[in-house]
Amino acid sequence: MNGHMGVWQGTALLLGAVLGPGMLVLPHLAAAAAGPASVLAWAGMLALSVPVALTFAALGARYPGGGGVAAVVGLAFGRHAAAVTGWWFYGAVPIGTVAGALVGGQYVEACLGVDATVAACLILAAAFAANAAGLRTSGGLQIGFVALLVALLATAVITAAPHADPANFTPFAPYGPAGVAGAAGVLMFAFVGWEAASHLSAEFADRRGLLRATVVTLAVIGVLYAGVSVTSVAVLGADMSAVPLTDMLQLGLGPAARPVTGVVAVLLTFGAVNTYIAGAARLGAALAADGALPRWFARGGAPGRTPYRSLGLVLVLSVPVLVGAVDLDVLMRATSACLAAVTSAGVAAAVRMLPRGRHRTVAVVGTVMSLLGLAFCGVYLLVPAVLGAVALAALHVKPRRSYKIGL
């Protein structure tokens, strides 16, 4: 390898892939599904992350610069599997970006008094306009957004913790095991993104750097998620509002925290939405070049160019999602199902691609746990099922290049 990335820069990039603005609302959604027992769902998802993260790190070290999950799935299982995996991610973006914008909108409404839907529309419009103008969120700015989110979560936990009340944990499991499973389904939204390791490896100075960055990221994610999940319930109770971090910060720091949180939420959600729209536009062009979308959408997919046609398709797909968005929980669960399917396909491909030994054993464990997590998505598995059927129907011509679909 001839990369230059160090452990800490790699950790920041991996944190950016896993940690997103969904954390602003997920404590509320998980608690609504399971009550105080939502902490068990958080713990289960953290346990799932360990073998999955280590598997993608091992895969990236063995196949540096592999082109993303769909590329690895294509090498392991063939072109049709690659197209389906690409479509799972591509189809998740219009749903997930609208969900992300609505998260920001909810915080804007609670903190600044602007209607949530109006704020979400403005965030989406700004992100699409930025992409159309060729503006991208720089790597340094993305790292800044990640640092801001980490600081926000840590401050909320530290300042609110003294107000914890043990009585908020009773009754502990009002909805039983089904509630915990339901919470796990929506929490998948916060535990995907480890596949980024599979195409960051070429940037590291040595192979051990990727593994170290993955371990550090797991530790940071574990501390943050455990702190937020336990503290939010302990301080606010299971019937917390849709903007738990605002309530925690206001309780710990006073009323001045409220408008600041609203502004921070806008920055975080815009950064994430902008990045995902840019990635989806390029992925759409790659899918078209491989015959998984009409060839017409492949134009502009070369490095340094803007794939306006694919970008326009993402916009067209996002509009009905925004118009029909009546429940943020539904959008988050549908997105989680798609991204969980991508993760499951990736670790399953690793079982076939990695040599016999401890790395393959970890990949097997990761596959079993990913499939279990996928099962928690329940009826929302219909979304990736439909997207998979569309992908197979669209795959009607031979690709001009081999598995280069990038996630």
By CB atoms closer than 10 A (0-12, 13-18, 19+), residue 84 is buried
pLDDT score recorded for residue 57: 86
> Cα(first)–Cα(last) distance of the chain, in Å?
22
Q: What is the pLDDT of residue 294?
A: 82
CA 94/CA 313 separation, integer angstroms? 10
State residue 20's pLDDT score: 80
**What tokens were used for 296?**
């017409």
**Numbers of helices and strands, H then E, in the chain:** 15, 0
> Can you give the pLDDT of all 407 residues of the chain as single tens digits?
455 666 777 787 788 778 888 888 999 999 999 999 999 999 999 999 999 999 988 887 777 655 578 888 888 999 889 889 989 988 888 998 999 999 999 999 988 888 988 999 999 999 888 888 876 655 667 778 888 888 999 999 999 999 999 999 999 999 999 999 999 999 988 888 787 666 566 666 666 777 888 899 999 999 999 999 999 999 999 999 999 999 999 998 988 888 888 888 888 888 888 878 887 888 888 888 877 788 888 887 776 677 888 889 989 989 898 888 778 899 999 999 999 999 999 999 999 999 888 889 999 999 999 999 899 999 999 999 999 998 888 775 454 444 444 44
The confidence score (pLDDT) of residue 276 equals 82
| Alpha carbon separation from 198 to 107, 327, 365 (Å, rounded) | 34, 33, 18
Q: Global pTM? A: 0.86
Distance CA 51, CA 49 (A): 6
pLDDT score recorded for residue 396: 58
- DSSP state letters, 118-149: HHHHHHHHHHHHHHHTT----HHHHHHHHHHH
Contact between 101 and 275 under an 8 Å Cβ cutoff? The reply is no
Sign of CA dihedral 83, 49, 180, 164: negative
Tokens at 97, concatenated: 């970006």
Tokens 């699409």, residue located: 128
Contact assessment for residue 214 and residue 14, using Cβ atoms and an 8 Å cutoff: yes
Q: Residues 6 or more apart from 265 whose CB is under 8 A from it?
A: 21, 24, 103, 104, 107, 108, 111
Handedness of CA 231, 233, 234, 237 (dihedral sign): positive
pLDDT at 399: 47
| Whole-angstrom distance, CA of residue 182 vs CA of residue 161 | 26
